[in-house]
Amino acid sequence: MLATNYRVFVTGLICGLIALVGLFPSSVIATENQTNPTSYDTLINELDDDLALKNDASFHLHAYLTGTSTFSLKDYVMSLVPLFFSEVKNTVTILYRIMIYLILSMFVSDFFYSHLSTMAQSVISFTLKLLLIKECLTIFHLIENVLSTTVETMYGFIIVLLSSVSGLSLILQPLSMMQSLKPLQLLLLPLSFQIFKQIIMPLIHFQCLMALLGELFELLPLQPLAKKMGDWLHFGLSLLLKIYFSFLMLSSSFRFFQTRLSLMQEKHLFSQLYTLTGHWFQETAEMSFLTLGVLRDALGVYGVIALALVVMTPLIKMTAVYIVLTVFEAMIQTLSQSTLVAHVTVLNRTILISIRALVVFGFLFIGNILVVIIFAQFFQQ
């Protein structure tokens, strides 16, 4: 009788600890400041903040583009090192909760699970799975917010760059720069931005959620459905980009035929490179090389470097999360071979695949936005 009461007490204490840890506000880490692409002044301030150093060195976007800034690229790159470890710390803060759930589940399964009723076993297992889904979705939400902010920042950053290249004042509204653009080209710019935010991102989020539910709750019909959604999403996006880019090339003026021919030669030169990256990254590599070819001639060295700095920060954040998750997967495999740990291993791989998909789709549309604005500016009739 005493042993039974002891097991009940310890089981209740463990469930209480699980509930207490689950109540910690892990979603706070995933919050990001969203850029408002409709306010031009806000965009400039946001871009200066995104590129600002956390020391005494001052940085101003316009001064850097014109080459009059004393900004040190070496100091900026060195400042990205603590940013990497900061993101590692944030990710580990989320993952330690998962480790607590796993250790508690191992403790329960090894010492008390066989003595509990079937109902108690089901409740404990279901609670642990729900908490694991909560924490893993927090990680996914962190990556999603970083990528969304990157796309919005890039949207405004190119407008600022082209305003500077065109000799316009940075305080002017971007509409003054775009009055001479073709209506269809001007329409496609916000259209691609909204397609990414309102359609692609929710679809990827829903696909990841279905994969998590299918793995953790063993709902087998959801797993092939999530895989089919990924295939449909990739096919649709690839088709959209091909049609989109073909329209831009065909709508360009013939007086820029030599420039377009140069771009096609660059595409052929790098054809062997992007075929090695596989079908997920083929369109990304093609769009990136073509865009960089235009950026090199249009924006000069300072523009390309500043653009790379904007992209570097979210890349470091996502790389930090990816590395921590990879190490975490190897670590949990050494702890136990229980069913729950096996589920978490598959869950972790699902998150890694989703992060790769988010990065690919996000930078596909970043490259898409770049091509639309630059081709509209330099290939107008």
Given a cut of 70, whether residue 261 has pLDDT beyond it is no
CB atoms under 10 Å from CB of 193, counted, come to 19
pLDDT at 172: 34
Domain count, the chain: 1
Given a cut of 60, whether residue 160 has pLDDT beyond it is no
Does residue 50 form part of some domain? yes
Torsion of CA 248, 254, 255, 256, to 10 degrees: 40
| Weakest mean pLDDT among 6-15, 23-32, 82-91, 148-157 | 23-32
Q: Give the containing element (helix H, strand E) for 132.
A: helix 118-165
Does residue 49 form part of some domain? yes
Q: Number of H helices and number of E strands within the chain?
A: 12, 0
Does residue 106 form part of some domain? no
Does residue 151 form part of some domain? yes
Does residue 4 form part of some domain? no
- pLDDT grade for 43, boundaries at 50, 70 and 90: very low
The answer to whether residues 147 and 318 touch, using CB atoms and an 8 Å cutoff, is yes
- pLDDT grade for 170, boundaries at 50, 70 and 90: very low
Question: How many angstroms separate the CA atoms of 230 and 207, rounded?
Answer: 7
Does residue 8 form part of some domain? no
The answer to whether residues 166 and 378 touch, using CB atoms and an 8 Å cutoff, is no
The mean pLDDT of 45-72, rounded to a whole number, is: 48
Given a cut of 60, whether residue 93 has pLDDT beyond it is yes
Question: How many angstroms separate the CA atoms of 235 and 212, rounded?
Answer: 23
Exposed / middle / buried, residue 270 (Cβ in 10 Å: 0-12, 13-18, 19+): middle
Does residue 111 form part of some domain? no
What is the DSSP code (8-state) at residue 252? S
Does residue 76 form part of some domain? yes
Structural domain for 342, as ranges? 35-99+136-378
CB atoms under 10 Å from CB of 289, counted, come to 18
The answer to whether residues 193 and 320 touch, using CB atoms and an 8 Å cutoff, is no
For 15-34, give the DSSP string: HHHHHHHHTS-GGGGG--PP
Integer Rg of the chain from CA: 25
Q: What is the pLDDT of residues 211-251, one digit of tens each?
A: 666 655 666 666 666 667 666 766 666 666 555 555 544 44
Given a cut of 70, whether residue 119 has pLDDT beyond it is yes
With tokens 């965009």, the residue in question is: 43
3 state DSSP class of 182: coil
pLDDT at 118: 72
